[in-house]
Amino acid sequence: MTLKPQDLKHVNYLWDDDTADKLDPVERLRYRSNILGADQRITNTGGGNTSSKIKMTDPLNGDEVDVLWVKGSGGDLRTSTRANFASLYMDKFLSLENIYNKAEVKGVKTEIEDSMVDMYRHTTFGLNPTASSIDTPLHGLIPFRNVDHMHPVSVIAIAASKDQERLTQEVFEEEVGWVPWQRPGFDLGLVMRNKLKQDPDLKGLVMGQHGLINWADDDKSCYELTLSLIEKAAHYIEKHDKGDKTFGGQKYKSLEEKTRNEILIKLLPILRGKVSQANRFIGTIHVTESVLQFVNSVDAPRLAEIGTSCPDHFLRTKIKPLYVDWDPQNESVEALLEKLESGLVKYRSDYAAYYDACKHPNSPTMRDPNPTVILIPGLGLIAWGKNKSESRVTAEFYSLAIEVMRASEAISEYQGLPRQEAFDIEYWLLEEAKLKRMPPEKEFARSVVVVIGAGSGIGKATAHRVAAEGAHVVCADLSVEAAQQTADELIQKYGVGIGVAGTGISGCGPAIALSVDITKRESIKSMLENVVLAYGGVDNIIITAGIFVSPDKQGYIPDDKWALTYAINATGPFLVADEAKKIWQAQGLRTSLVITTSANAAVAKQGSFAYDTSKAAANHLVRELAIELSPLVRVNGLAPATVVEGSSMFPRDRVISSLTKYNIPFDESESTESLRDKLAVFYAQRTLTKSPITLADQAEMAYLLSSSKFSKTTGQIISVDGGLHEAFLR
């Protein structure tokens, strides 16, 4: 019996007739998918799929035909749009069974099964370019008009238990049947259809080690059934929950947040360096009550070794995490580092052994053998991925796996997927083909780039430039509001930022904003520590922060302004390098530092000698640091000249005084940017290239100097000044 909305306590009932009734049938499917995907207890990010069989007019002949609309490959139910759904002529799709049946060898994991995926394209209705997923037959072969396939924690807990078939019967009685684990594909669709033929009253099936599938002719009823079944499973689990005795009880205690962060700040760069030997990774720290209860428990080592169960989970989490048996109350951080080192060595060799034991003659080559999930008592969970979003989802998946284990151990005994089955998913040729279709990674993918001075001018332009190369950009500035503005622009452009649980850092997606005063070592240290907590480490740093103090009419600069000019333009970059050095050395990964100096550093002229001499010091600092930090860090200088566009160093009064000085006509009513343009055109005439120098020109060079394109260049100052012969370095 389907439960009423008011009886649901473990899932949110979100269906709204007023909204749904205004939509066409395909949009109703999109709506249903979005509200199912919005609740992590119903399905995980990117997991599960939905379908509707909808009567539509065939554009070829005007006839009414049945069309299967089914969530396609990739994307997430919560954010799916119409474009995420594939559409297939039902009659053509069903006729594929004839081809399947004609194959001499058929069944799960046979060649014909994999080749069916390519056949779905031939059944496309309405020129829809969306690719069908491997789960399509699970929807197409079920003779009901609406089907939901979800990965709810509560149902996976049943499906990952030793006596899953009996539990299915006990929890759902006659309503839901059970099918053992089988890799999804055409054959699994046939197995399910047969199950339904034998028992036409079935409303759904628990899929062994995998999830739930259920159906109804009406779409709202299908949605309500999905929620009702998940509620029943969750209710049953709640009744059996072991409370304090969960996971055999607690063996260790959690550390205070302050102590935990101090350890993580020390640990993360070292760990990142160790897991990033082949490919660089971005980290996510995940610390919730439930994660801590698991990592601190008696059973954690045993359960961690079994690995995750749902195939969606372990594709990210790998077959198992690395659990480090460290006593946070009685052992030192040095002991933890030693245990991590030996744990990693063992993990990699276990992974290679798993690969060797399970591989087939045509298997893809072994992937990165480092763990993507690391569990440490007292501290929590550290996840690694190729970018922030991937490591965050990996952390989410393992925390869902923890919920599955908690529930499964409460009602029965938790069971992992057999290693060979796990391997046949992980190294599935179809998965490999999907990986091969992905566009090549960008220059700064997997990298954390800190731009100091990102709130305006060259820094802001540079933040945008490196973000376009796939960087995770830390927008640092004296003004945190200005830094946040730049970070918001990047998040707007490249995707939503996500907070990092337990660290107090929000907006941690492609960009974050942090305040920094580069005249203060403590401020720099704290900014870099926040970067480590947000991403696991630091790669390139680009410093664009600087100050220009105009002398008064007599050419006088007060002593405090002289000192400030040096503190920001020369000592600041040194302090940044000196603090970053500790993190860079702990990581042991090649990186780069770019310091913005100035063409003025090489040209003596009247009136700006605090600025000019401080920049000359910065030029030499570049050379000294290049020697000091080699071979780990390349250090180069970017020497701009007279970038007036959008520059905070050219405030309105300075622009006006320059225009007056050079007898350039202007109108007081003109905007500052228009006055700056006039000055830029004038300055351009003094250069060899006769072209105004833009922020984009500077950002391009800041990017190039940081990139692999300049991997053999260090200790150099590159001028981007349009060609000023008096500033030539010699």
Just list the catalytic residues.
Answer: 611
211 half-sphere exposure, CB direction, 13 A CA radius: 25
Helix (H, G, I), strand (E, B) or coil at 653: helix
CB-based contact 95:88 (threshold 8 Å): no
Helix (H, G, I), strand (E, B) or coil at 371: coil
Name the residue number minimizing CB distance to Zn ion: 211
Residue 631: asked if its preceding bond is cis (omega within 30°), the reply is: yes
Tell me the C-alpha distance between 608 and 616, whole Å: 12
Which residue bears the tokens 């099936």? 205
CA 258 from centre of chain:
26
In one letter, which amino acid is 167?
L
CB atoms within 10 A of CB 40: 17
Q: Which is nearer to Zn ion, 207 or 533 (CB)?
A: 207
Helix (H, G, I), strand (E, B) or coil at 377: coil
Q: Please state the closest distance from residue 211 (CB atom) to Zn ion, in A.
A: 5
> In sequence order, what are the residues at sequence separation of 6 or more whose Cβ sits closer than 8 angstroms to the Cβ of residue 526?
none
What is the DSSP track for 535-600? HSS---EEE-----PPP-TTS---HHHHHHHHIIIIIHHHHHHHHHHHHHHHHT--EEEEEE--GG
CB-based contact 68:90 (threshold 8 Å): yes
Handedness of CA 286, 288, 291, 295 (dihedral sign): positive
Residues in the chain: 730
CB-based contact 598:612 (threshold 8 Å): yes
Q: Is 666 exposed, middle or buried (0-12, 13-18, 19+ CB in 10 A)?
A: middle
Please, which of residues 194-213 interact with Zn ion by CB under 5 A?
A: 211
**How many chain residues are in contact with Zn ion, going by CB under 5 A?**
1
127 torsion bin: left (phi>0), alpha (psi -120 to 50), beta (else): left
Q: Which is nearer to Zn ion, 211 or 385 (CB)?
A: 211
Q: Please state the closest distance from residue 311 (CB atom) to Zn ion, in A.
A: 7
**3-state secondary structure string across 427-467:** CCHHHHHHHHHCCCCCCCCCCEEEEECCCCHHHHHHHHHHH
Tell me the C-alpha distance between 316 and 385, whole Å: 8
In one letter, which amino acid is 21?
D
Q: Which is nearer to Zn ion, 211 or 470 (CB)?
A: 211
Q: Please state the closest distance from residue 152 (CB atom) to Zn ion, in A.
A: 11
Tell me the C-alpha distance between 678 and 659, whole Å: 8
**3-state secondary structure string across 380-416:** EEEEEECCHHHHHHHHHHHHHHHHHHHHHHHHCCECC
Q: Please state the closest distance from residue 332 (CB atom) to Zn ion, in A.
A: 44
Tell me the C-alpha distance between 204 and 85, whole Å: 22
Tell me the C-alpha distance between 191 and 214, whole Å: 14
Q: Which is nearer to Zn ion, 211 or 640 (CB)?
A: 211
Q: Take residue 10 and report the two structure tokens written for it.
A: 């473990």
CB-based contact 713:701 (threshold 8 Å): no
Tell me the C-alpha distance between 374 and 382, whole Å: 5
> In sequence order, what are the residues at sequence separation of 6 or more whose Cβ sits closer than 8 angstroms to the Cβ of residue 702?
458, 462, 465, 466, 542, 544, 594, 596, 638
CB-based contact 191:78 (threshold 8 Å): no
What Cα–Cα distance (Å) separates residue 256 from each residue in 261, 262, 426? 9, 10, 38
Q: Which is nearer to Zn ion, 137 or 510 (CB)?
A: 137
Tell me the C-alpha distance between 360 and 354, whole Å: 12
Please, which of residues 208-237 interact with Zn ion by CB under 5 A?
A: 211
What Cα–Cα distance (Å) separates residue 644 from each residue in 84, 466, 676, 694, 718? 46, 22, 6, 8, 19
What is the DSSP track for 169-188? HHHHTTSEEEE----SSHHH
192-198 contacts, C-beta under 8 A, 24 or more apart: 192/138, 192/141, 192/142, 193/141, 193/142, 193/143, 196/142, 196/143
Q: Which is nearer to Zn ion, 179 or 475 (CB)?
A: 179
The torsion defined by the Cα of 491, 494, 500 and 506, in degrees rounded to 10, comes to 0
Binding interface with Zn ion (CB under 5 A): 211
